[in-house]
Homo-oligomer: A and B are copies of this chain.
Amino acid sequence: MKAKPSARTIFAENLRKARLAKGLSQEDLAELANLHRTYVGSVERSERNVSIDNMERLASAVGAPLPKLLQKEKQ
């Protein structure tokens, strides 16, 4: 059995998928969320202990509800 992925990892993966589904680059997303492009990249690599306010901005920018971005996808 694989270890349960962290909330960080789940958010990172779901954010990336939601961004790509919208046809947005990391730069586009950064601009929409008023964050720096390198910051968005580091969130998508699970490197950042992202705050709730920035999670909300990112979710809003990709048009996804925040709770959904924290849900582990069914395999």
Contacts and interface: CB of A to CB of B under 8 A. Distances in A.
Interface of A: 6-8, 11, 49-53, 55-56, 59, 66-68, 70-71
| Copies of this polypeptide in the complex | 2
SS class, residues of chain A in contact with chain B: helix
B66 A7 contact: yes
Contact of A7 (B6, B56, B71): B56
A24 B3 CA distance: 28
Contacts of A71: 67
Contacts of A50: 51-52
A21 B59 CA distance: 29
A51 B49 CA distance: 6
